[in-house]
């Protein structure tokens, strides 16, 4: 598996999904993109499973042996807004957006559903 990076008007886009036995290059690329998005408070657009989502990344690390990403999901069909704990190995086509995230809506709670 080879990681392809596209440089353009937006930040780098990884074009392959990470798998359990996947390329270390893909893992490093996704890791850098996620860390950059959190540090810069940027929105991310990505494919998770078969769904394209737009979210605010908030936390990232290892939980129970799996690399996880805590996001506040802004857009995804048919899913609604809200907190999501995602398995990074199921994430592909990650793109850093130019928009900067704001604070989650006042009534939002971090109930941390997976998916």
pLDDT digits (tens, 9 = 90+) for 28-46: 778 899 999 999 999 999 9
Q: Structurally, how many domains does the chain consist of?
A: 1
Residue 23 in domain: yes
| Alpha carbon distance 35, 66 (integer Å) | 17
Please state whether the predicted TM-score (pTM) of the whole model is above 0.85.
no
Residue 35 in domain: yes
Residue 51 in domain: yes
Query: For residue 78, what are the domain limits?
Result: 5-100
Q: Which residue has the higher pLDDT, 61 or 11?
A: 61
Alpha-carbon torsion angle 99, 78, 18, 46, nearest 10:
-10
Residue 105 in domain: no
């Amino acid at each position: 598996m080879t990681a392809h990076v596209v440089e353009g008007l937006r930040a780098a886009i990884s074009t392959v999904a990470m798998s359990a036995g996947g390329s270390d290059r893909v893992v490093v690329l996704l890791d850098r993109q996620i860390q950059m998005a959190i540090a810069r408070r940027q929105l991310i657009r990505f494919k998770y499973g078969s769904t394209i989502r737009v979210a605010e990344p908030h936390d990232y690390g290892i939980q129970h042996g799996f690399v996880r990403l805590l996001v506040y999901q802004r857009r995804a069909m048919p899913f609604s807004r809200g907190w999501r704990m995602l398995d990074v190995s199921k994430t592909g086509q990650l793109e850093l957006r130019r928009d900067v995230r704001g604070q989650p809506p006042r009534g939002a709670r971090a109930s941390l559903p997976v998916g």
